[in-house]
Structure 1
């Protein structure tokens, strides 16, 4: 069980690294990673232009349990909105535009990683 947990954590970290690289390649600047407060965690906070994107990264090695986007429920989105508001209050309450994004990373055992970026996820 311990090995499974450490493999899952490593998979998640690799997915977040690839998602960050993807965002930088798209012209974003990373403001924060794995920002935490008592209510939860935001994987990546990035900015491009006047937009600050609060990014949830979902990484899978297969699609056996569904597409990574399927893990983003209305409850999860509501929590991400609350976390984004908290980050803004703590860091810069005058951000012109905030957005919740989701990045799905598929890391198959063989082959190249696949990255999908859903900008402006909402329920």
Structure 2
């Protein structure tokens, strides 16, 4: 079961990556792992460092992209981003968090919902 879920997740991340590239993003990393967890995608959008959470859904039953990233997940993403910034010694660079939802039953040619700047982060949360 885990291998199937990972395969589905990887495919969703690939589709999200392709979508973001078409939108002009430069992908800096995919499945960026650390002891704390994993960032799905790290990208550059015209000089802004973007941490992207990708969710794939077979149906719209459980809501859209925002509902897929609850407060606990947001806190984890902030923690992972702070670690990424520290590890890469990145200071004073604009950052944001985007969410990309891939919904298989959307009935459209591009079943992607992209929310740029999906949630706010307090100024000190990304400092190291």
Relative to the length of structure 2, the TM-score reads 0.83
Pair 1:70 & 2:75 matched: no
Alignment of 1:1-123 (within 5 A): 2=1, 5-108=2-105, 112-122=109-119
Change (3 A) 1:26 1:12: same
The total of aligned residue pairs comes to: 120
Per-residue CA deviations over 1:29-63 (Å, capped at 9, x if unaligned) read: 10000011111110000002220100000001112
Q: Which runs of 4+ in 1 moved over 6 A?
A: none
Aligned partners of 1:52 and 1:95 also within 8 Å: no
Q: Residues of 1 paired with 2:106 and 2:81: CA distance?
A: 33
